[in-house]
Chain A
Amino acid sequence: MTIRHHPSEASLIAHASGTLGEGLSVVVASHLALCQRCRDHLRAAEDIGGALVEALPPSALSPGGREAMLARLDATPREAGVAPPLPRARGVPRPLADYLDVDLESVPWRAMAPGVRRYPLVTARSGHGTLRLLRIAPGTALPRHEHQGHEFTLVLKGSFSDDLGRYRPGDLADLDSSRGHQPIADADEDCVCLIATDAPLRFKTLLPRLAQPFLGM
Protein backbone atom coordinates (compact mmCIF):
# COMPACT_ATOMS: atom_id res chain seq x y z
CA MET A 1 0.00 0.00 0.00
CA THR A 2 1.56 3.27 -1.12
CA ILE A 3 0.09 6.10 0.93
CA ARG A 4 0.18 9.53 -0.68
CA HIS A 5 -2.13 11.64 1.45
CA HIS A 6 -1.35 12.13 5.14
CA PRO A 7 -2.72 14.17 8.04
CA SER A 8 -1.07 17.61 8.20
CA GLU A 9 1.75 18.23 10.68
CA ALA A 10 -0.64 20.47 12.61
CA SER A 11 -3.17 17.62 12.82
CA LEU A 12 -0.54 15.18 14.09
CA ILE A 13 0.43 17.75 16.74
CA ALA A 14 -3.24 18.06 17.72
CA HIS A 15 -3.43 14.26 18.00
CA ALA A 16 -0.25 14.14 20.12
CA SER A 17 -1.51 17.03 22.28
CA GLY A 18 -4.80 15.24 22.84
CA THR A 19 -6.93 18.08 21.45
CA LEU A 20 -8.71 16.20 18.65
CA GLY A 21 -12.17 14.91 19.49
CA GLU A 22 -12.71 11.17 19.62
CA GLY A 23 -14.05 10.76 16.06
CA LEU A 24 -11.16 12.65 14.44
CA SER A 25 -8.70 10.74 16.66
CA VAL A 26 -10.07 7.40 15.49
CA VAL A 27 -9.50 8.38 11.84
CA VAL A 28 -5.95 9.61 12.53
CA ALA A 29 -5.12 6.53 14.63
CA SER A 30 -6.45 4.24 11.88
CA HIS A 31 -4.20 5.99 9.37
CA LEU A 32 -1.27 5.70 11.79
CA ALA A 33 -1.85 1.95 12.03
CA LEU A 34 -1.22 1.78 8.26
CA CYS A 35 1.49 4.44 7.86
CA GLN A 36 5.04 4.06 9.16
CA ARG A 37 5.96 7.62 8.11
CA CYS A 38 3.22 9.14 10.22
CA ARG A 39 4.07 6.88 13.16
CA ASP A 40 7.60 8.32 13.03
CA HIS A 41 6.16 11.83 12.90
CA LEU A 42 3.80 11.12 15.78
CA ARG A 43 6.74 9.95 17.84
CA ALA A 44 8.46 13.30 17.26
CA ALA A 45 5.24 15.12 18.18
CA GLU A 46 5.00 13.09 21.40
CA ASP A 47 8.67 13.76 22.12
CA ILE A 48 7.75 17.46 22.08
CA GLY A 49 5.16 16.70 24.77
CA GLY A 50 7.75 14.86 26.85
CA ALA A 51 10.22 17.74 26.53
CA LEU A 52 7.55 20.30 27.48
CA VAL A 53 6.46 18.38 30.58
CA GLU A 54 10.10 18.06 31.65
CA ALA A 55 10.46 21.83 31.37
CA LEU A 56 7.34 22.68 33.42
CA PRO A 57 7.93 24.36 36.78
CA PRO A 58 7.19 21.73 39.47
CA SER A 59 4.02 22.24 41.55
CA ALA A 60 4.22 22.05 45.33
CA LEU A 61 2.48 18.83 46.35
CA SER A 62 0.45 18.43 49.53
CA PRO A 63 2.30 16.96 52.52
CA GLY A 64 1.71 13.24 52.79
CA GLY A 65 1.48 12.84 49.01
CA ARG A 66 4.47 10.51 48.88
CA GLU A 67 3.06 8.27 51.61
CA ALA A 68 -0.34 8.22 49.89
CA MET A 69 1.36 7.20 46.64
CA LEU A 70 3.30 4.41 48.35
CA ALA A 71 0.13 3.12 49.99
CA ARG A 72 -1.57 2.97 46.59
CA LEU A 73 1.33 0.97 45.12
CA ASP A 74 0.72 -1.75 47.73
CA ALA A 75 -2.86 -2.11 46.54
CA THR A 76 -2.04 -2.07 42.81
CA PRO A 77 -0.74 -5.12 40.94
CA ARG A 78 1.53 -4.46 38.00
CA GLU A 79 0.40 -5.63 34.55
CA ALA A 80 2.40 -8.12 32.55
CA GLY A 81 3.77 -7.03 29.19
CA VAL A 82 1.42 -7.86 26.33
CA ALA A 83 1.99 -8.98 22.76
CA PRO A 84 1.85 -6.04 20.34
CA PRO A 85 -1.63 -5.54 18.87
CA LEU A 86 -2.27 -6.78 15.34
CA PRO A 87 -2.42 -3.82 12.95
CA ARG A 88 -5.74 -5.03 11.50
CA ALA A 89 -8.85 -6.76 12.81
CA ARG A 90 -12.36 -7.23 11.36
CA GLY A 91 -10.92 -6.23 7.99
CA VAL A 92 -10.03 -2.70 9.16
CA PRO A 93 -7.17 -0.92 10.97
CA ARG A 94 -7.12 -1.92 14.61
CA PRO A 95 -8.12 1.46 16.14
CA LEU A 96 -11.30 1.35 14.03
CA ALA A 97 -11.97 -2.33 14.80
CA ASP A 98 -12.64 -1.40 18.43
CA TYR A 99 -15.62 0.66 17.22
CA LEU A 100 -17.07 -2.03 14.95
CA ASP A 101 -19.10 -4.95 16.27
CA VAL A 102 -19.05 -6.75 12.90
CA ASP A 103 -16.53 -7.44 10.13
CA LEU A 104 -16.33 -4.78 7.44
CA GLU A 105 -17.81 -7.35 5.01
CA SER A 106 -20.94 -7.74 7.18
CA VAL A 107 -21.70 -4.12 8.01
CA PRO A 108 -25.52 -3.55 7.94
CA TRP A 109 -25.42 -0.53 5.64
CA ARG A 110 -28.32 1.92 5.67
CA ALA A 111 -29.40 3.87 2.58
CA MET A 112 -28.53 7.56 2.83
CA ALA A 113 -28.88 8.98 -0.68
CA PRO A 114 -28.81 7.50 -4.20
CA GLY A 115 -25.55 5.55 -4.46
CA VAL A 116 -24.54 6.32 -0.87
CA ARG A 117 -24.93 4.07 2.17
CA ARG A 118 -23.80 4.83 5.68
CA TYR A 119 -23.11 3.14 9.01
CA PRO A 120 -22.81 5.44 12.02
CA LEU A 121 -20.31 4.58 14.76
CA VAL A 122 -20.92 5.42 18.39
CA THR A 123 -18.54 7.75 20.22
CA ALA A 124 -18.59 8.81 23.87
CA ARG A 125 -19.82 12.32 23.13
CA SER A 126 -22.09 11.98 20.16
CA GLY A 127 -23.23 15.47 19.31
CA HIS A 128 -19.63 16.66 19.24
CA GLY A 129 -19.19 15.78 15.59
CA THR A 130 -19.75 12.47 13.86
CA LEU A 131 -17.91 9.26 13.06
CA ARG A 132 -19.29 7.03 10.34
CA LEU A 133 -18.52 4.65 7.53
CA LEU A 134 -19.72 5.59 4.05
CA ARG A 135 -20.05 3.22 1.12
CA ILE A 136 -20.28 5.06 -2.17
CA ALA A 137 -21.25 3.36 -5.44
CA PRO A 138 -18.82 3.69 -8.37
CA GLY A 139 -18.99 7.09 -10.07
CA THR A 140 -21.27 8.66 -7.45
CA ALA A 141 -20.58 12.34 -6.70
CA LEU A 142 -21.23 13.69 -3.22
CA PRO A 143 -22.59 17.25 -3.02
CA ARG A 144 -19.91 19.94 -3.00
CA HIS A 145 -19.44 21.10 0.58
CA GLU A 146 -17.30 23.19 2.88
CA HIS A 147 -16.35 22.49 6.45
CA GLN A 148 -16.97 24.60 9.53
CA GLY A 149 -14.53 22.50 11.49
CA HIS A 150 -12.34 19.56 10.45
CA GLU A 151 -13.28 16.65 8.24
CA PHE A 152 -10.92 13.67 8.09
CA THR A 153 -11.62 10.93 5.56
CA LEU A 154 -9.68 7.65 5.44
CA VAL A 155 -10.16 5.36 2.44
CA LEU A 156 -10.59 1.73 3.47
CA LYS A 157 -11.52 0.20 0.08
CA GLY A 158 -11.79 1.47 -3.48
CA SER A 159 -10.90 5.10 -4.19
CA PHE A 160 -12.33 8.57 -4.70
CA SER A 161 -11.10 11.77 -6.30
CA ASP A 162 -11.67 15.44 -5.52
CA ASP A 163 -10.11 18.79 -6.39
CA LEU A 164 -6.98 17.84 -4.45
CA GLY A 165 -6.20 14.45 -5.96
CA ARG A 166 -7.00 10.77 -5.90
CA TYR A 167 -7.38 8.95 -2.60
CA ARG A 168 -6.69 5.22 -2.35
CA PRO A 169 -6.74 2.80 0.63
CA GLY A 170 -4.72 4.22 3.53
CA ASP A 171 -4.89 7.80 2.22
CA LEU A 172 -6.30 10.40 4.58
CA ALA A 173 -7.96 13.60 3.34
CA ASP A 174 -7.36 16.31 5.96
CA LEU A 175 -9.76 19.20 5.31
CA ASP A 176 -10.66 22.24 7.37
CA SER A 177 -12.73 25.38 6.99
CA SER A 178 -10.30 26.81 4.42
CA ARG A 179 -11.09 24.15 1.80
CA GLY A 180 -14.30 22.84 0.25
CA HIS A 181 -14.42 19.82 -2.02
CA GLN A 182 -16.64 17.52 -4.05
CA PRO A 183 -15.61 13.88 -3.65
CA ILE A 184 -16.49 11.51 -6.52
CA ALA A 185 -16.10 7.75 -6.12
CA ASP A 186 -13.90 6.29 -8.84
CA ALA A 187 -15.61 4.17 -11.47
CA ASP A 188 -14.17 0.72 -10.80
CA GLU A 189 -15.61 -0.35 -7.43
CA ASP A 190 -17.50 0.79 -4.33
CA CYS A 191 -15.50 3.22 -2.21
CA VAL A 192 -15.63 2.56 1.54
CA CYS A 193 -14.44 5.42 3.75
CA LEU A 194 -14.22 6.27 7.43
CA ILE A 195 -15.24 9.90 7.94
CA ALA A 196 -15.19 12.08 11.04
CA THR A 197 -16.24 15.69 11.43
CA ASP A 198 -16.21 17.96 14.46
CA ALA A 199 -18.83 20.43 13.16
CA PRO A 200 -21.70 20.30 10.64
CA LEU A 201 -20.85 20.65 6.95
CA ARG A 202 -21.96 23.56 4.75
CA PHE A 203 -23.32 22.65 1.34
CA LYS A 204 -22.74 24.72 -1.77
CA THR A 205 -25.55 23.34 -3.89
CA LEU A 206 -28.44 25.51 -5.08
CA LEU A 207 -30.68 22.46 -4.87
CA PRO A 208 -31.27 21.87 -1.17
CA ARG A 209 -32.96 18.52 -1.79
CA LEU A 210 -29.64 17.15 -3.09
CA ALA A 211 -27.93 18.11 0.14
CA GLN A 212 -30.79 17.11 2.44
CA PRO A 213 -29.67 13.51 3.07
CA PHE A 214 -26.24 14.77 4.09
CA LEU A 215 -27.34 17.49 6.47
CA GLY A 216 -26.70 15.35 9.54
CA MET A 217 -23.00 15.05 8.62
Chain B
Amino acid sequence: MGEDPAMTVAETLADDPARSAKVAESIRFAECLRDVAERGDREAFMTLYDHFAPRLASYMTRAGASPAQAEDLMQDAMLAVWRKAALFDPAKASAATWIFTIARNLRIDLLRRDRRPTVDIGALDLADPSDGAEATVDAARRADRVRRAVAALPPEQAEVIRLSYFDGLPHPEIAARLNIPLGTVKSRLRLAFKKVRGALADETMGDPA
Protein backbone atom coordinates (compact mmCIF):
# COMPACT_ATOMS: atom_id res chain seq x y z
CA MET B 1 0.00 0.00 0.00
CA GLY B 2 1.26 3.45 -0.82
CA GLU B 3 4.34 2.06 -2.55
CA ASP B 4 5.14 3.02 -6.09
CA PRO B 5 4.28 -0.13 -8.05
CA ALA B 6 7.16 0.33 -10.48
CA MET B 7 9.57 0.69 -7.57
CA THR B 8 8.27 -2.50 -6.01
CA VAL B 9 8.84 -4.47 -9.17
CA ALA B 10 12.32 -2.99 -9.61
CA GLU B 11 13.24 -3.87 -6.03
CA THR B 12 12.05 -7.42 -6.51
CA LEU B 13 14.07 -7.55 -9.71
CA ALA B 14 17.25 -6.65 -7.85
CA ASP B 15 16.48 -9.40 -5.32
CA ASP B 16 16.07 -12.39 -7.54
CA PRO B 17 15.83 -12.22 -11.32
CA ALA B 18 13.95 -15.51 -11.80
CA ARG B 19 11.36 -14.52 -9.24
CA SER B 20 10.92 -11.05 -10.62
CA ALA B 21 10.40 -12.48 -14.10
CA LYS B 22 7.44 -14.46 -12.75
CA VAL B 23 6.01 -11.36 -11.06
CA ALA B 24 6.44 -9.31 -14.24
CA GLU B 25 4.78 -12.07 -16.26
CA SER B 26 1.86 -12.20 -13.86
CA ILE B 27 1.42 -8.43 -14.16
CA ARG B 28 1.52 -8.71 -17.96
CA PHE B 29 -1.24 -11.36 -17.94
CA ALA B 30 -3.47 -9.14 -15.77
CA GLU B 31 -2.87 -6.28 -18.22
CA CYS B 32 -3.82 -8.57 -21.10
CA LEU B 33 -7.13 -9.35 -19.38
CA ARG B 34 -7.73 -5.62 -18.95
CA ASP B 35 -7.02 -5.02 -22.66
CA VAL B 36 -9.41 -7.80 -23.66
CA ALA B 37 -12.08 -6.29 -21.40
CA GLU B 38 -11.59 -2.71 -22.53
CA ARG B 39 -11.17 -3.12 -26.26
CA GLY B 40 -11.46 -6.73 -27.30
CA ASP B 41 -7.70 -6.88 -27.91
CA ARG B 42 -7.16 -10.16 -29.78
CA GLU B 43 -3.38 -9.99 -29.57
CA ALA B 44 -3.57 -9.62 -25.78
CA PHE B 45 -5.96 -12.57 -25.70
CA MET B 46 -3.61 -14.75 -27.73
CA THR B 47 -0.77 -13.91 -25.31
CA LEU B 48 -2.96 -15.44 -22.60
CA TYR B 49 -3.87 -18.32 -24.90
CA ASP B 50 -0.27 -19.22 -25.68
CA HIS B 51 0.56 -19.42 -21.98
CA PHE B 52 -2.59 -20.85 -20.41
CA ALA B 53 -4.16 -23.03 -23.15
CA PRO B 54 -1.53 -25.83 -23.02
CA ARG B 55 -1.69 -25.81 -19.20
CA LEU B 56 -5.49 -25.85 -19.08
CA ALA B 57 -5.47 -28.80 -21.48
CA SER B 58 -3.17 -30.59 -19.01
CA TYR B 59 -5.52 -29.64 -16.17
CA MET B 60 -8.50 -31.18 -17.99
CA THR B 61 -6.51 -34.32 -18.84
CA ARG B 62 -5.58 -34.82 -15.18
CA ALA B 63 -9.29 -35.01 -14.32
CA GLY B 64 -9.78 -37.86 -16.79
CA ALA B 65 -10.61 -36.10 -20.06
CA SER B 66 -9.35 -37.65 -23.31
CA PRO B 67 -6.89 -35.45 -25.25
CA ALA B 68 -9.63 -34.35 -27.68
CA GLN B 69 -12.09 -33.69 -24.85
CA ALA B 70 -9.40 -31.83 -22.89
CA GLU B 71 -8.75 -29.56 -25.85
CA ASP B 72 -12.47 -28.85 -26.27
CA LEU B 73 -12.81 -28.03 -22.58
CA MET B 74 -9.72 -25.84 -22.74
CA GLN B 75 -11.17 -23.93 -25.71
CA ASP B 76 -14.46 -23.46 -23.86
CA ALA B 77 -12.55 -22.17 -20.82
CA MET B 78 -10.48 -19.75 -22.93
CA LEU B 79 -13.64 -18.57 -24.69
CA ALA B 80 -15.17 -17.87 -21.26
CA VAL B 81 -12.03 -15.83 -20.45
CA TRP B 82 -12.70 -13.79 -23.61
CA ARG B 83 -16.41 -13.31 -22.81
CA LYS B 84 -16.03 -12.55 -19.11
CA ALA B 85 -12.81 -10.51 -19.04
CA ALA B 86 -14.77 -7.48 -17.81
CA LEU B 87 -15.51 -9.39 -14.60
CA PHE B 88 -11.81 -9.84 -13.81
CA ASP B 89 -10.85 -7.63 -10.88
CA PRO B 90 -7.09 -7.35 -10.21
CA ALA B 91 -7.86 -6.38 -6.59
CA LYS B 92 -9.33 -9.85 -6.00
CA ALA B 93 -7.22 -12.32 -7.95
CA SER B 94 -4.19 -12.81 -10.14
CA ALA B 95 -4.85 -13.69 -13.78
CA ALA B 96 -3.80 -17.30 -13.12
CA THR B 97 -6.16 -17.66 -10.15
CA TRP B 98 -9.09 -16.15 -12.05
CA ILE B 99 -8.50 -18.37 -15.09
CA PHE B 100 -8.18 -21.39 -12.78
CA THR B 101 -11.64 -20.71 -11.29
CA ILE B 102 -13.20 -20.50 -14.77
CA ALA B 103 -11.59 -23.78 -15.87
CA ARG B 104 -12.55 -25.46 -12.58
CA ASN B 105 -16.22 -24.49 -12.95
CA LEU B 106 -16.33 -25.83 -16.52
CA ARG B 107 -14.65 -29.04 -15.40
CA ILE B 108 -17.31 -29.55 -12.71
CA ASP B 109 -20.12 -28.96 -15.23
CA LEU B 110 -18.80 -31.20 -17.95
CA LEU B 111 -16.71 -33.94 -16.37
CA ARG B 112 -18.56 -34.51 -13.11
CA ARG B 113 -21.95 -33.63 -14.66
CA ASP B 114 -22.56 -31.71 -11.48
CA ARG B 115 -23.33 -28.10 -10.83
CA ARG B 116 -22.35 -25.61 -8.21
CA PRO B 117 -23.81 -22.28 -7.18
CA THR B 118 -23.19 -19.68 -9.86
CA VAL B 119 -22.93 -16.59 -7.67
CA ASP B 120 -19.48 -15.01 -7.82
CA ILE B 121 -18.67 -15.00 -4.11
CA GLY B 122 -15.55 -12.87 -4.55
CA ALA B 123 -17.68 -10.14 -6.12
CA LEU B 124 -19.42 -9.69 -2.77
CA ASP B 125 -16.34 -7.99 -1.39
CA LEU B 126 -16.22 -4.30 -2.08
CA ALA B 127 -13.61 -3.46 -4.65
CA ASP B 128 -10.43 -1.94 -3.29
CA PRO B 129 -10.55 1.77 -4.11
CA SER B 130 -6.84 1.72 -4.98
CA ASP B 131 -6.07 2.04 -8.66
CA GLY B 132 -5.86 -1.00 -10.89
CA ALA B 133 -2.10 -0.80 -11.45
CA GLU B 134 -1.29 -1.03 -7.76
CA ALA B 135 -3.81 -3.85 -7.23
CA THR B 136 -2.28 -5.72 -10.17
CA VAL B 137 1.20 -5.53 -8.67
CA ASP B 138 -0.09 -6.60 -5.25
CA ALA B 139 -1.90 -9.59 -6.79
CA ALA B 140 1.22 -10.60 -8.75
CA ARG B 141 3.39 -10.49 -5.64
CA ARG B 142 0.77 -12.44 -3.73
CA ALA B 143 0.61 -15.06 -6.49
CA ASP B 144 4.40 -15.33 -6.33
CA ARG B 145 4.28 -15.97 -2.58
CA VAL B 146 1.67 -18.68 -3.05
CA ARG B 147 3.61 -20.26 -5.92
CA ARG B 148 6.74 -20.51 -3.79
CA ALA B 149 4.86 -21.80 -0.75
CA VAL B 150 3.16 -24.49 -2.88
CA ALA B 151 6.46 -25.48 -4.49
CA ALA B 152 8.02 -25.86 -1.01
CA LEU B 153 5.31 -28.17 0.42
CA PRO B 154 6.56 -31.48 1.86
CA PRO B 155 5.83 -34.38 -0.54
CA GLU B 156 2.97 -35.90 1.50
CA GLN B 157 1.17 -32.54 1.65
CA ALA B 158 1.82 -31.77 -2.03
CA GLU B 159 0.36 -35.17 -2.88
CA VAL B 160 -3.04 -34.61 -1.22
CA ILE B 161 -3.17 -31.09 -2.67
CA ARG B 162 -2.59 -32.42 -6.19
CA LEU B 163 -5.13 -35.23 -5.77
CA SER B 164 -7.71 -32.64 -4.70
CA TYR B 165 -7.03 -29.88 -7.24
CA PHE B 166 -5.86 -31.87 -10.25
CA ASP B 167 -7.45 -35.30 -9.98
CA GLY B 168 -10.60 -33.77 -8.51
CA LEU B 169 -10.93 -36.46 -5.83
CA PRO B 170 -13.19 -35.87 -2.81
CA HIS B 171 -11.46 -36.45 0.56
CA PRO B 172 -12.76 -40.02 1.11
CA GLU B 173 -11.45 -41.04 -2.32
CA ILE B 174 -8.05 -39.50 -1.56
CA ALA B 175 -8.00 -41.55 1.67
CA ALA B 176 -8.85 -44.72 -0.28
CA ARG B 177 -6.30 -44.00 -3.02
CA LEU B 178 -3.46 -43.47 -0.53
CA ASN B 179 -4.73 -46.03 1.97
CA ILE B 180 -4.61 -43.52 4.83
CA PRO B 181 -7.37 -42.44 7.27
CA LEU B 182 -9.72 -39.62 6.24
CA GLY B 183 -8.51 -37.59 9.21
CA THR B 184 -4.94 -37.79 7.90
CA VAL B 185 -6.06 -36.46 4.50
CA LYS B 186 -7.73 -33.51 6.20
CA SER B 187 -4.83 -32.75 8.52
CA ARG B 188 -2.36 -32.80 5.60
CA LEU B 189 -4.59 -30.42 3.65
CA ARG B 190 -4.89 -28.19 6.70
CA LEU B 191 -1.13 -28.09 7.19
CA ALA B 192 -0.56 -27.27 3.52
CA PHE B 193 -3.15 -24.49 3.69
CA LYS B 194 -1.54 -23.08 6.84
CA LYS B 195 1.83 -22.86 5.06
CA VAL B 196 0.28 -20.90 2.20
CA ARG B 197 -1.63 -18.62 4.55
CA GLY B 198 1.55 -18.12 6.55
CA ALA B 199 3.42 -17.04 3.42
CA LEU B 200 0.68 -14.48 2.72
CA ALA B 201 0.71 -13.21 6.31
CA ASP B 202 4.49 -12.64 6.08
CA GLU B 203 3.79 -10.44 3.11
CA THR B 204 1.25 -8.32 4.99
CA MET B 205 3.61 -7.94 7.95
CA GLY B 206 6.49 -7.04 5.69
CA ASP B 207 4.44 -4.32 4.04
CA PRO B 208 5.54 -0.83 5.16
CA ALA B 209 1.92 0.43 5.17
Contacts and interface: CB of A to CB of B under 8 A. Distances in A.
B79 A76 contact: yes
A72 B74 CA distance: 13
A29 B116 contact: yes
15 contacts: A14-B171, A19-B168, A46-B100, A47-B196, A49-B165, A50-B100, A54-B55, A55-B151, A61-B71, A69-B49, A76-B79, A78-B37, A79-B86, A94-B119, A128-B114
Contacts of A49: 97, 100-101, 104, 165
B12 interface: no
Contacts, number: 236
Contacts of B172: 149, 177
A53 B96 contact: yes
A56 to B, nearest CB: 4
Given A8-B186, A45-B193, A77-B83, A20 B170 contact: yes
Interface of B: 36-37, 40, 42, 45-46, 49, 52-59, 61-62, 67, 70-71, 74-75, 78-79, 82-87, 92-94, 96-101, 103-105, 107-108, 112-126, 142-143, 146-147, 150-151, 161-162, 164-166, 168-172, 182-183, 185-186, 189-190, 192-194, 196-197, 200
A3 B104 CA distance: 28
A136 interface: no
Interface in A34-83: 36, 39, 41-62, 65-66, 68-70, 72-73, 76-82
A177 B172 CA distance: 10
A197 interface: no
Nearest to B162: A52
A124 interface: yes
A10 interface: yes
A82 B87 contact: yes
Contact of B82 (A18, A20, A76): A76
A216 interface: no
A87 interface: yes
Contacts of B108: 18
Given A22-B115, A52-B161, 11 more contacts: A10-B190, A18-B104, A18-B168, A19-B168, A19-B171, A33-B121, A41-B197, A47-B196, A53-B55, A56-B62, A85-B124
A59 B185 CA distance: 29
Contact of B161 (A29, A36, A44, A48): A48
Interface in A73-104: 73, 76-82, 84-85, 87, 94-95, 98-99
A43 B123 CA distance: 11
Contact of B83 (A8, A41, A70, A76): A76
Interface centre among B75, B97, B143, B161 (most CB of A within 10 A): B97
Contacts of A52: 100, 150, 161-162, 165-166
Given A44-B200, A53-B99, A125-B113, A178 B75 contact: no
Contact of B196 (A39, A44, A124): A44
Interface in A167-203: 176-178, 198
A69 B78 contact: yes
Contacts of A205: none
Contacts of A53: 52, 55-56, 59, 96, 99-100, 103
A123 B112 CA distance: 14
